[in-house]
A = this chain, B = another copy of it.
Amino acid sequence: MSSIGKVAESLGVSTHALRYYEKIGLLAPVAKTSGGRREFSARDIMRVQFIKRAQRMHFSLDEIRTLIELDKAESVDKPQAQKLVQEKLDAIEESLTDLEQLKVDLVQMLSACLSSGEGEDCPIIEAIKEPSVST
């Protein structure tokens, strides 16, 4: 039974975001006081926590909506939950591969720049113009 401000503060979310989650249906309509203010139940708060954790795992709000629906179903739809996680994992592995190569390239660019003489130009721009190994 907390006000929107307290929930926002304690979970590190803005009050705007909380109202937004409710508006798009990620949160069931939150109970209101006679004065029209939201009163978040423990259940509501847990839901918000779920959303934030899933977001940290790079699930989009749309994917989170699906996760929530899966949770509401009698028993979790195993293949579908699995598929969502597998897809996320695939996307992350792709990003990892991409970023690792990129890191190699940037490190190389940087060391070439650092080892260039005092008055010399830093060959970073040239490196982008004429990719040496990858790209």
Contacts and interface: CB of A to CB of B under 8 A. Distances in A.
Interface of A: 46, 49-50, 53-54, 56-58, 67, 70-71, 75-76, 78, 81-82, 84-86, 88-89, 92-93, 95-96, 99-100, 102-103, 105-107, 109-110, 113-114, 116, 121-125, 128-129, 131, 135
Given A76-B121, A106-B88, A135-B53, A129 B46 contact: yes
A89 B110 contact: yes
B128 A53 contact: yes
Given A76-B121, A85-B113, A121-B78, A54 B128 contact: yes
Contacts of A86: 110
